[in-house]
A and B are shown apart, each in its own frame.
Chain A
Amino acid sequence: MTTPQDYQGIPKDTVDKFHGNQLLYIGWEDHLMFCAPFAFPFPPAMRFGDIVSHVLPAAFGYHPDFAKIDWPAAQWFKSGQPFSPDFDRSLAENGLGHKDVIRFRTPGLTGIKGSFS
């Protein structure tokens, strides 16, 4: 019988299972109206700026703060550490791999009535 020590599982979410995409998680700091960060499947060659201009509006646009975002002033974090994405480069060129998590903070915007919602 296999002992618990030498038991091997087969990982369910390796990148090869996502039809050419990789997963990227994106959260908006100080805006808990969106209950959790989002998960997206993107091709690694996708331009980072296209995510900001074509994907984020549909995901976060319901919030009245979204239209007020000054994108050049936004602060980015990757796994919680400061991160400076190049909007003209791809995800892969920005060093973003499968299941990376990034967050952005929009200084001055603190949600509904300043409640971080």
Chain B
Amino acid sequence: MDTKTAGRKLGLKEKYAHMTRGLGWDTTYQPKEKVFPFEQMEGIKIHDWDKWEDPFRLTMDAYWKYQAEKERKLYAIIDAFAQNNGHLNVTDARYINVLKLFLTGVSPLEYMAHRGFAHVGRQFSGVGPRVACQMQALDELRHSQTQIHAISNYNKHYNGMHDFRHMHDRVWYLSVPKSFFDDAVSAGPFEFMVAIGFSFEYVLTNLLFVPFMSGAAYNGDMGTVTFGFSAQSDEARHMTLGLEVIKFILEQDPANLPIVQKWIDKWSWRGIRVLTLVAMMMDYMLPKRVMSWKESWEIYFEQNAGALFKDLARYGITVPECVTTATKEKDHLSHQAWSTFYQYGAAAAFHTWMPSPDEMDWLSAKYPDTFDKHYRPRFEYWREQEAAGNRFYNKTLPMLCQVCQIPMLFTEPDDPTKIAYRETQYKEDKYHFCSDHCQHIFEDEPEKYVQAWLPVHQIYQGNCFPEGTDPTAPDFDPLAAVLQWYHIEFGADNLAFEGSEDEKNFAMWRGMATQNS
């Protein structure tokens, strides 16, 4: 008889077992190696996938429930933000430039992360990590979508955000984040997990999403802080997946240790280089600052990653060598990056400016050992020149690092007055690097990095002009042609913040919002 029995509620551990292991199956009419062809490729040895454990024990049903609730909360705020002209509540219109960099540089990476996790989720034969990767793939798609939605409210009013996806694949500085992710997704599945799941999510995303998003709140941008924290609530789960994957691989076979260590070394450095952009967003682009880049580095890297590496020491993992370099660079990074964008401000899809005297004093206080000595004289000179109508626009293309693709702007770790030059000969050609660490990455996989799409070299090869451009025509203007190909509108999207359409419109609209005339 159909007697209704009150179903006993499953405990977390039991439910997790049913909803992951219980859903798996073994292949029957094809050998397992043919169904999961990339699993052996990298030399990682896995003996028992069932040893995998997700500490959150999140199952798909709970996942949908909580993600739906996060979305409802997020969209309620995004709607209120739009209805209330929230864009006029930000501290000042310079702030909006961080969103342009975020939308063109970061949001497309979220989408690539979606593709990457969908791919590796398919390639692992273990059920636990497949379920976790599937959830993460959905999270990343959600991040990309919610960021685009939230920032679209700004796109209605301000320049530089109209064609972010087109720009991501073309604009010179966006090749830095783009090539980082392309590097990761073109690796094998285990390397991808260590690269993105561990090195990026666990070790580095806190630096982007926590102090920077708190900074967005401090600058009155409720829409951004909400998508940022909503995304970061998923990151906590991603970080956990990243840490579990490392522990799992290391526990499976001692032969995995050197492979994993090499990937941790490589991807910590690749990630640290990408974060150069975040350093300058925090120190220069937020009109009100929560903390300096250096302080966030100390909290979220030195303290937090320090604890992490101490924990992993039991497996034989050591702190990557590049951390010594990065720790020396924390006093210089944001200043060197902002100098670069200020001078190449004609070729950027956002506005740049020199810090005000007050802001320079803040920088002196936060960087007592370096700002006044190395950067203030340069910035004061630029301010004077700007006031005299002679703002610096560098029109000559810079030399780039073959691996991180950043202009060769970094100084020697022990001498901030000298640019760091490194080079190597491989087959017929010379290759140049910003650091020992980028050089080592190249030398370990030269056949991969000789294929780098370096924006400066591509321009000189003639590959970055609109179709039909004749570079031999007498009136040919290469900068104008490249900007057209980027879809950067000269005079609207680029150049100085002072005198920009954004500055004028923001002042006018804010005036209209607070006065009747």
Contacts and interface: CB of A to CB of B under 8 A. Distances in A.
| Same complex | yes
Interface of A: 1, 3-4, 7-14, 17-19, 21, 23, 25, 27, 29-30, 32-41, 58-59, 62, 79-80, 97-101, 103, 111-113, 115-117
Given A13-B429, A36-B408, A18 B461 contact: yes
Report the 9 A-B pairs with minimum CB-CB distance, sorted nearest first. A117-B378, A36-B407, A36-B398, A116-B417, A115-B377, A9-B447, A11-B450, A59-B396, A35-B340
A12 B451 contact: yes
A32 B427 contact: no
Given A35-B398, A99-B429, A117-B378, A41 B460 contact: yes
Nearest to B382: A33
A23 B460 contact: yes
Secondary structure of the A side of the interface?
loop
Secondary structure of the B side of the interface?
mixed
B230 interface: no
Nearest to B336: A35
B411 interface: yes
B477 interface: no
Contacts of A17: 461
A114 to B, nearest CB: 8
Given A14-B428, A34-B394, A98-B430, 12 more contacts: A9-B448, A11-B427, A12-B450, A19-B461, A19-B462, A21-B460, A23-B457, A33-B392, A39-B399, A98-B429, A99-B431, A101-B423
Nearest to A11: B450
Contact of A9 (B42, B373, B450): B450
A73 to B, nearest CB: 20
Nearest to A110: B417
10 contacts: A4-B41, A4-B188, A11-B451, A27-B399, A34-B394, A35-B340, A36-B408, A38-B398, A97-B430, A117-B377
Contacts of A13: 429, 454, 457, 461
Given A9-B448, A80-B421, A58 B396 contact: yes
B20 interface: no
A105 to B, nearest CB: 10
Contacts of A40: 396
Q: How large is the interface on B (under 10, 10 to 19, 20 to 34, 35 or more residues)?
A: 35 or more
Contacts of A21: 460
B421 A32 contact: no
Which among A10, A13, A30, A32 has the greatest number of chain B C-beta atoms within 10 A?
A: A13
A37 B399 contact: yes
A59 B423 CA distance: 23
Contacts of A97: 430
B491 interface: no
B141 interface: no
B419 A9 contact: no
B453 A12 contact: yes
Interface in B330-379: 336, 339-340, 343-344, 373-375, 377-378
Interface in B444-476: 446-454, 456-457, 460-462
B509 interface: no
Contacts of B106: none
Interface in B391-418: 392, 394-400, 407-409, 411, 417-418
Nearest to B374: A115
A10 B456 CA distance: 18
Contacts of A36: 340, 398-400, 407-409, 419
Contacts of A98: 429-430
